[in-house]
Structure formats: structure tokens, C-alpha cells
């Protein structure tokens, strides 16, 4: 495995962890992980790169080794501001190459439309947004949020790292035992005789604000950077969210300069299932 270093930097009042696969002088590449994930999840992808890259991968607030948020829930716009603070620190004055998976893909795609001048190229791995909502859903959503705040959130404890690794393989049968063992020790931490995920349980609390697709699409339409939109042949995420192929086509059409590729024999965690194929796509796209 290619070795990484940990840097801890102040980002908007939190002690942020940024994992760096350090190659001074090489082109910079920023990787942003998904929901209930950590930056180390990109290890297999980085190992598969053939070119030299100076790679930065932060743990989002409340994940991995980054400090937890100082509130009882999390707000999506904070990810945008955190991303900008990371770029201010590590790519100030430079256009950046951004790669995001799932939640991270949604964040970088929005950011590229909000700050188009700061993005050189954008790679979106399975970050195609959420189902569109209607205003009349708001009362029920706010009620659910208040109920969940009152009840609190908890994460399932695991007996040991082996049990967590087995859970990862159950969720993703394509995951090899070696990769599952590695991820279990990156995703988990020992506490009180059990293993818990390195995530703030508050991430499980529903967002009280509806997903405003029209606003998101308006941001996407402002993206000027070339976009590589990558989905997985066997991802069940779209089915669970009830997003149709027609919906997906409309979403991709919002980007002025987009290349769409589907990675075969891969699920939602395509950078775990087919890291070599994803690495080739990214490097070919970035040139």
C-alpha cells in the first residue's frame, strides 16, 4: 500500500484531519468521501494510480479522525464551506481537481457551480443527488427531525474488528477479506470493550430541510469545468431512492461539458470494487 500521512489543521473551528499521499511537485488531487465513510476508503484507488499525484483526502466533519461537530445535527452547507477552507489551505490561488464519492460527489458538484473559477476538473462517483421533494412534505420532515433529536442517535457496536469486517463483506460481497480487514480498522475504533464506527451518531439524524432539486440543478448549470460522471452497473442506490433513468439523464444534462461512464461489475462503493478501472478513468480524464 502507498503510505499516507496525517495532517491536522484548523477548519472553521474544528480540528480537521487531512490524509495525504504526499508527492511534492506532482499535480494535486483532492478526494472527498461519502456518508458514513472515511478518507482511508480511497487507499485502494490511490494504490491503483499509475501517475504521480499529490493527493489530499480530508475526513469530513464528524467522520474519521476529524473532530465532531459542535451541534446536535449536521447541515449540508457546512460541507461546502469546509471544502472551500481545505482548498484555501492546500490549493490557494490554484484551480483544483476534485473527486467526490456519493455524499462527497454531491458536495463537489455543487461547489463547482458555486465557485466555478476554482475548479479545474470534476469527477463525480455515484453522487447524483437525492429524490426531488415537494413543499407539502415539509411539515412531516420537520416533525421527524424534532422526534429524532429528542430520541438521540446511536451507532451499532461490534464485538471486534473481525465482526465489523464481516458486516462490510455482507453489505458488499465484492469486498475481499483483506480489504474488509483494512477498512474495518480505518472505519472502527475500540471503546468500552466494543468497536464503534469512527462517525458521530448525529449523522444518522434526518436533515430537516427538503432536498430542493431545482436549486441544486441551478448550481450544476453554472459548472464550467469538464465533468466525469461515473456510476456503477450494479448500484442499488438509484432503486432505493426511486430515481428513474429519465431523471438521471436530466441531471446529467445540467452540466455543459460532461462525460458519462458506467463501471461494470461494481456496486455503489465502486472505488472498493473496481479501483483499477476507476483509477484509469480518473487519470485518463485528468490527462
User: pLDDT tens digits, residue range 191-214?
Assistant: 999 999 999 999 999 999 999 999
Residues linked to residue 231 through DSSP beta bridges, in sequence order: 262
Residue 187 within a domain: no
The mean pLDDT value for 133-160 works out to 96
- The enclosing domain of 70 has a CATH number of 3.40.50.1820
The mean pLDDT value for 67-89 works out to 96
Residue 271 within a domain: yes
Number of domains in the chain: 1
Q: Which of 187, 188, 255 is nearest to 216 (CA)?
A: 255
Q: Is the pLDDT of residue 166 over 90?
A: yes
Residue 268 grid coordinates? 455503489
Residue 34 neighbours by CB under 8 Å, 6+ apart:
41, 101, 102, 103, 104, 105, 126, 127
The burial class, CB within 10 Å (0-12 / 13-18 / 19+), for 110 is: buried
pLDDT per position as a tens digit, 80-109 = 999 999 999 999 889 999 999 999 999 999
Task: Please give the pLDDT value at position 189.
Answer: 96
Region for 241 from its dihedrals, namely left if φ exceeds 0, alpha if ψ lies in -120 to 50, beta otherwise: alpha
Task: Please give the pLDDT value at position 239.
Answer: 84
Average pLDDT taken over every residue of the chain: 97
Residue 215 within a domain: yes
Q: Which of 181, 184, 207 is nearest to 197 (CA)?
A: 184
pLDDT per position as a tens digit, 249-261 = 999 999 999 999 9
Residue 151 within a domain: no
* Domain residue limits at 247: 5-132+211-286
Residue 150 within a domain: no
Q: Is the pLDDT of residue 218 over 90?
A: yes
Task: Please give the pLDDT value at position 19.
Answer: 98
Residue 243 within a domain: yes
Task: Please give the pLDDT value at position 97.
Answer: 98
pLDDT per position as a tens digit, 5-36 = 999 999 999 999 999 999 999 999 999 999 99
The mean pLDDT value for 107-131 works out to 97
Residue 146 within a domain: no
Task: Please give the pLDDT value at position 92.
Answer: 86
Find out whether 33 and 268 touch, Cβ atoms under 8 Å. no
Cα 21 to Cα 4, 59, 89, 272, 273: the distances in Å are 4, 14, 16, 18, 21
The mean pLDDT value for 230-243 works out to 91
Residue 73 within a domain: yes
DSSP symbols for 36-103: T--GGGGHHHHHH--S--EEEEEPPTTBTTSPPPSSSS--THHHHHHHHHHHHHHSTTS-EEEEEETH
Task: Please give the pLDDT value at position 238.
Answer: 84
Amino acid at each position: 500500500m502507498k503510505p499516507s500521512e496525517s495532517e491536522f489543521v484548523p477548519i472553521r473551528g474544528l480540528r480537521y484531519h487531512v490524509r495525504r499521499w504526499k508527492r511534492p511537485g506532482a499535480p494535486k488531487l483532492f478526494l472527498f468521501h461519502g456518508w458514513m465513510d472515511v478518507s482511508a476508503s480511497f487507499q485502494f484507488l490511490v494504490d491503483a494510480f499509475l501517475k504521480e499525484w499529490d493527493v489530499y483526502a480530508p475526513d469530513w466533519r464528524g467522520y474519521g479522525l476529524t473532530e465532531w461537530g459542535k451541534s446536535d445535527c449536521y447541515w449540508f452547507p457546512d460541507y461546502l464551506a469546509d471544502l472551500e477552507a481545505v482548498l484555501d489551505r492546500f490549493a490557494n490561488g490554484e484551480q483544483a481537481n476534485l473527486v467526490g464519492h456519493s455524499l462527497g460527489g454531491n458536495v463537489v458538484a455543487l461547489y463547482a457551480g458555486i465557485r466555478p473559477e476554482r475548479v479545474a476538473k470534476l469527477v463525480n462517483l455515484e453522487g447524483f443527488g437525492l429524490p426531488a421533494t415537494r413543499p407539502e412534505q415539509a411539515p412531516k420532515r420537520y416533525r421527524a427531525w424534532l422526534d429524532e433529536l429528542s430520541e438521540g442517535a446511536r451507532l451499532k457496536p461490534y464485538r471486534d474488528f473481525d465482526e465489523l469486517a464481516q458486516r462490510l463483506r455482507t453489505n458488499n460481497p465484492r469486498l475481499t477479506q483483506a480489504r474488509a480487514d483494512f477498512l474495518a480498522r480505518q472505519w472502527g475504533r475500540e471503546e468500552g470493550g466494543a468497536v464503534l464506527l469512527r462517525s458521530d451518531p448525529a449523522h444518522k439524524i434526518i436533515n430537516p430541510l427538503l432536498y430542493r432539486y431545482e436549486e441544486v440543478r441551478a448550481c450544476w448549470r453554472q459548472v464550467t469545468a469538464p465533468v466525469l460522471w461515473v456510476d456503477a452497473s450494479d448500484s442499488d442506490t438509484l432503486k432505493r431512492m426511486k430515481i428513474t433513468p429519465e431523471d438521471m439523464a436530466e441531471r446529467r444534462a445540467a452540466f455543459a461539458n460532461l462525460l458519462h461512464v458506467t463501471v461494470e461489475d461494481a456496486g455503489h462503493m465502486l472505488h472498493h470494487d473496481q479501483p483499477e478501472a476507476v483509477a484509469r478513468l480518473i487519470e485518463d480524464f485528468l490527462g
